[in-house]
Copies of this chain bind each other. A is one copy, B any other.
Amino acid sequence: MRSILEAAERVLAENPAASMEQIAEASNVARTTVHRRFASRQALIDALAASTVERLAQAIEDGRPDTAPPLVALHRITANVLQFKSAWGFALGLPATEGSEATTTQEEIARRCMGLLVRAQDQGVIDSQADLDWVRRVYYALIGEALHDSPEDADPDVLAIKIVDTLLHGAGPRTR
């Protein structure tokens, strides 16, 4: 059950169009068995997406987004998410069914993130004029980009520093 989802993660990460056969093979199970657990390919994908996004939400929660000081939370959450995504990230981009559990949780995560950004803005960590929706999307993009080339080797904390620094100060010259 869980092992099938794990195998699916691995296989689909390499080839999003992989067949049920390949997934079954990767989890050392007959294709029929997969079909017995998951009525359809879509059902499997939904289950995978839901399970993964659920754990992502947990990793974020561990950073205490609405109680820790914004900067601290930002760092901790970034590091947690990096670590999680580098191992399980693929399934988060999976095309889950409209209105599925995965989608709902994703939205919940976005709300959590916005809440954190609002607190950061209130405390002057983010410019008061900033478009927080844009900031959030940039934040997401930076995380994705950081993983794009430093998959295994890099220390999540180091990467997190880089991301938060870029998010807040950009690439322009430092005036201090």
Chain A residues proximal to chain B, CB less than 8 Å:
17, 124-130, 134-135, 137-138, 140-142, 144-145, 148-149, 162, 165-175
Contact = CB atoms under 8 A, between A and B. Distances in A.
Interface of A is mostly: helix
A116 to B, nearest CB: 13
A147 B169 CA distance: 22
Copies of this chain held together in the complex: 2
Contacts of A148: 137
Given A137-B149, A166-B138, A175 B172 contact: no
Contacts of A170: 165-170
11 contacts: A17-B17, A126-B172, A134-B162, A135-B171, A137-B145, A137-B148, A137-B149, A141-B144, A141-B145, A166-B170, A167-B170
A111 to B, nearest CB: 17
Contacts of A173: 124-128
B171 A130 contact: yes
Nearest to A165: B170
Nearest to A173: B127
B168 A127 contact: no
A7 to B, nearest CB: 22
A136 to B, nearest CB: 10
Contacts of A127: 171-174
A83 B123 CA distance: 36
Contacts of A140: 145
A130 B127 CA distance: 22
Contacts of A174: 127, 129
